[in-house]
């Protein structure tokens, strides 16, 4: 991951000399860098912001006397990337604090998983189940994808593997009713967390979006988590904005970063959506879910 970005950033760091630290001289070099970022799926807007921030930081060190610009340029670049990975304070999500709060109120914590087709929603539900079990929370799954054939069996297999209950109706049934049944089950059995699977839907499929609205209206999830496929590149920006507009999202999980050689989508999505990335999926196994850490990303893209 980040192979090309990493190389490009490191070229940039080598290219800049102290005498070039004026805006005029920097501009073409930074423009090249912006293009490199866009080629690697960082959104236009994010790339421009990183470029602007970079210039601002670099020209502010114009008059200081240093033997080599390298550490300063590297630091400026790291700061600029770090900034784009930040989310507004009011949007931050502390998952386990929220779960504990629900628990102290004696109610299950409800998570609705949504996104377009094939991004990894169902797989991520299994991974989250494992994560929650590792922290000693009990989980029930709601088979809210009553649309795609095989979807209920797919989730049921994960439920069996992980030893959790899945609540399901028939294909073609009302997914909102499935979600409500799962919540009732959690309440009756004192289960901590309900994970609701939903059918993959394109952000422009009105019928399926209406169905999702209904699931959310009736189940009142504590968290609506959008699953973005990092291989979709910055098309994820369009998806996430549309889903947020239609049904609202609180957080993001980016999947398949293990197969993504560009990496830009993961860098750009926080800023584009102004929603935090909570985890990233880095493989098909149940343990292939890692907490999203902006510092780790910065260290990977621009090694010290």
Ligand X SMILES: Nc1nc2c(ncn2[C@@H]2O[C@H](COP(=O)(O)OP(=O)(O)OP(=O)(O)O)[C@@H](O)[C@H]2O)c(=O)[nH]1
Binding site for ligand X (CB under 6 A): 117-123, 145, 148, 151, 200, 255-256, 258-259, 281-284, 288
**How many C-beta neighbours within 10 Å does residue 148 have?**
14
Q: Which residue, 46 or 124, is less far from ligand X as judged by CB?
A: 124
Q: Which residue, 53 or 246, is less far from ligand X as judged by CB?
A: 246
283 binds, among ligand X, Mg ion, none (CB under 5 to 8 A by kind): ligand X
HEC profile of the chain? CCHHHHHHHHHHHHHCCHHHCCHHHHHHHHHHHHHHHHHCCCCHHHHHHHHHHHHHHHHCCCCCCCCCCHHHHHHHHHHHHHHHCCCCHHHCCCHHHHHHHHHHCCCCEEEEEECCCCCCHHHHHHHHHHHHHHCCCCEEEECCCCCCCCHHHHHHHHHHHHCCEEECCCCCCCHHHHHHHHHHHHHHHCCCEEEECCCCCCCCCHHHHHHHHHHHHHHCCCEEEEEEEHHHCCHHHHHHHHHHHHCCCCEEEEECHHHCCCCHHHHHHHHHHCCCEEEEECCCCCCCEEECCHHHHHHHHCCC
Task: Out of 40, 80, 122, 230, name the contact with Mg ion by CB under 5 A.
Answer: 122
Give the tokens for residue 79. Answer: 């700061």
Q: Which residue is nearest to ligand X (CB)?
A: 200
184 binds, among Mg ion, ligand X, none (CB under 5 to 8 A by kind): none
Q: Would you count residue 121 as binding Mg ion (CB under 5 A)? A: yes
Q: Which residue, 167 or 267, is less far from Mg ion as judged by CB?
A: 167
Maximal CA-CA distance, the chain? 72
Of 171-210, which residues contact Mg ion (CB under 5 A)? none
Instruction: Return the half-sphere exposure (C-beta side, CA atoms, 13 A cut-off) of residue 60.
Output: 9
Using the contact rule CB under 5 A, the part of the chain among 119-127, 164-172, 242-250, 290-298 near Mg ion is 119-127
Rounded distance, CA 127 to CA 130, Å? 5
117 binds, among ligand X, Mg ion, none (CB under 5 to 8 A by kind): ligand X
Q: Which residue, 12 or 286, is less far from ligand X as judged by CB?
A: 286
242 binds, among ligand X, Mg ion, none (CB under 5 to 8 A by kind): none
123 binds, among Mg ion, ligand X, none (CB under 5 to 8 A by kind): ligand X
C-beta of 7: minimal distance to ligand X in Å? 23
C-beta of 120: minimal distance to Mg ion in Å? 8
144 binds, among ligand X, Mg ion, none (CB under 5 to 8 A by kind): none
Q: Would you count residue 158 as binding Mg ion (CB under 5 A)? A: no
Q: Which residue, 108 or 115, is less far from Mg ion as judged by CB?
A: 115
Q: Which residue, 53 or 211, is less far from ligand X as judged by CB?
A: 211
255 binds, among Mg ion, ligand X, none (CB under 5 to 8 A by kind): ligand X
Using the contact rule CB under 5 A, the part of the chain among 117-125, 157-165, 185-193, 280-288 near Mg ion is 117-125
Rounded distance, CA 112 to CA 225, Å? 6
C-beta of 211: minimal distance to Mg ion in Å? 14
Q: Which residue, 51 or 281, is less far from ligand X as judged by CB?
A: 281
Q: Which residue, 145 or 246, is less far from Mg ion as judged by CB?
A: 145
Closest CA to 34 of 65, 95, 77: 77
């Amino acid at each position: 991951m980040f192979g090309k970005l990493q190389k490009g950033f490191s070229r940039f760091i080598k290219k800049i000399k102290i005498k070039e630290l004026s805006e005029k001289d920097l501009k073409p070099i930074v423009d090249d860098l912006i293009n490199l970022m866009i080629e690697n799926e960082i959104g236009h807007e994010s790339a421009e912001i990183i470029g602007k921030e970079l210039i601002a930081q670099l020209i502010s060190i114009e008059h200081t006397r240093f033997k080599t610009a390298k550490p300063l340029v590297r630091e400026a670049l790291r700061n600029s990337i770090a900034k784009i990975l930040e989310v507004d304070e009011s949007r931050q999500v502390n998952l386990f604090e929220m779960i504990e709060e629900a628990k102290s109120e004696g109610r299950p914590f409800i998570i609705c998983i949504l996104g377009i087709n094939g991004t990894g929603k169902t797989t991520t539900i299994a991974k989250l189940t494992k994560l929650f079990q590792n922290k000693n929370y009990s989980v029930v799954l709601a088979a809210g994808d009553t649309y795609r054939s095989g979807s209920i069996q797919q989730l049921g297999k994960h439920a069996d593997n992980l030893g959790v209950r899945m609540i399901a109706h028939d294909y073609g049934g009302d997914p909102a009713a499935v979600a409500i049944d799962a919540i009732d089950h959690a309440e009756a059995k004192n289960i901590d967390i309900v994970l609701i699977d939903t059918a993959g839907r394109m952000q422009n499929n009105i019928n399926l979006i209406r169905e999702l609205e209904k699931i959310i209206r009736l189940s009142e999830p504590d968290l609506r988590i959008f699953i973005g496929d990092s291989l979709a590149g910055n098309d994820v920006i369009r998806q996430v904005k549309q889903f947020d507009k239609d049904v609202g999202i609180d957080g993001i999980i980016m999947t398949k970063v293990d197969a993504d050689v560009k990496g830009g989508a993961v860098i750009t999505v926080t800023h584009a959506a102004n929603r935090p990335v909570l985890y990233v999926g880095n493989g098909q196994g149940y343990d292939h879910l890692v907490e999203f850490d902006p510092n780790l990303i910065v260290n990977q893209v621009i090694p010290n």
